Amino acid sequence: MESNAGSKALSAQLLRGRLDVKVDGSLIDPGALFGFAERNNPKRAFLFVSKVLGRHIPVRPSVMEASFKSLAQEIPANLPGPVLVIGMAETAVGLGAGVHRAFSATRPDTVYMVSTRHPTGTELLTRFEEEHSHASAHLIHMPVEPDIREMVLNARSLVLVDDEASTGKTFINLHRALVDAGLTKVENVVTCVLTDWSRNAVCKAIGSSAHQVSLLQGTYDFHEDVDAPLPVMPQVGSVAAGDWPLTPEKDWGRLGVRDVEDTLALGLKVVAGERVLVVGTSEFVWRPFLLAERLERAGADVHFSSTSRSPIALGHAIGHALSFSDNYGLGIPNFLYNVRPGQFDRVLICSETPAQSIPADLVKSLNAEVIVDAQ
């Protein structure tokens, strides 16, 4: 990444072209907020890799928490309730939960849900498309608990959370799908992202009822090399129940929640200064984050990261990659980025699927402990 402090211009030369970025405003130094990477995806070549998200780069929980609070503070305080906060699968489900936790501390009429690519076997509310994605289909489930369902269906404000907005089309698609599905009382829509490159697209599409908040705003231009070969993207777009299906009883957001309890490995002990990595798996990241937060408070040197189905090339912000089969039994590749064997004293892989679903070679290579959600 090259930087020009005067114009706040950044650029990256990728295999398929040059990405030029102009930062218009930022609450955090851009270099501390994101880096660049190249997707193994013929639909879009580039990726903004967050340094505060805890997905592709290990991050201290306290740093993640600071970004949650900073974003929540940007959300208009006078939104009419109920307020439905939605975190976007898979990358932003933890970010959305963190923003919801911070925002809900100021008012009682909020509920959190996630879009998902893992059906629970219960009724769907709607589905929508993220057109540029490696896995374009998203599901939104209908809440099962009557009080949560009532809050969702009567929501007057939507807060839609993602790691970044490049064109805003995914947010526009989700808003339209929710209204078409029966959320007809929505008066305000707030998009809430770490980095916003969308040129105010959501406000232009929805109108004066929309607000866009972020930690950084800017624009980008991608100058594609039309002669560069397109990558072959692995088949990672599955939206189905795998060999290890989910149960609604252990829900942490797919069916809607007011809050989520810290329940993982309550008896786990750490040594002061011990280098610990807590790894969430796919969309299961919020309870693992709560564990990481607890261990950091106990004095360990904790970082948090997550496995992903997003195929990313080595280079730029991606210095190392591990590839293995997913833990839901879908038969699709998953990845863990910027985590090297031996880098941490202790690695805790957290899962909502049984321990035997975690690939043995991943556990062995990281000398990891597997922690299963028994909630």
Look-up of token digits 């509920």: 111
pLDDT given at position 131: 58
Bridge partners (DSSP) of residue 48 are 36
> What class does CATH assign to 260-372?
alpha beta
CB 284 within 8 A of CB 349: no
Residue-wise pLDDT for 132-186, tens only, equals 454 468 899 999 999 999 999 999 999 999 999 999 999 999 999 999 999 999 9
CB 159 within 8 A of CB 95: no
- Looking from the CA of 326 toward its CB, the CA atoms found within 13 Å total 29
Residue 29: name the closest of 80, 63, 73, 57 by CA.
63
Residue 96: name the closest of 73, 74, 68 by CA.
68
pLDDT given at position 3: 41
299: left (phi over 0), alpha (psi -120 to 50) or beta: left
Indicate the angle between helix axes 61-74 and 286-297, nearest 10 degrees.
120
* E strands present in the chain: 2-4, 9-14, 17-26, 34-38, 46-50, 83-87, 110-114, 124-129, 137-141, 157-165, 188-196, 210-224, 275-280, 301-306, 321-325, 333-337, 346-351, 369-372
Instruction: Return the domain boundaries, the chain.
Output: 260-372
pLDDT given at position 173: 93
pLDDT given at position 214: 98
- Number of Cβ within a 10 Å radius of residue 140: 24
As to burial, measured by CB atoms within 10 angstroms (0-12 exposed, 13-18 middle, 19+ buried), residue 226 is exposed
pLDDT given at position 6: 42
Q: What b/e string do you get for 15-49 counting C-beta neighbours within 10 Å, with b at 16 or more?
A: ebbebebbbeebebebeebbbbbbbbbeebbbbbb
> What percent of the residues of the chain are helix, what percent strand, and what percent coil, each to the nearest 5?
20, 35, 45
Spans of the chain below 70 pLDDT: 1-7, 130-136, 375
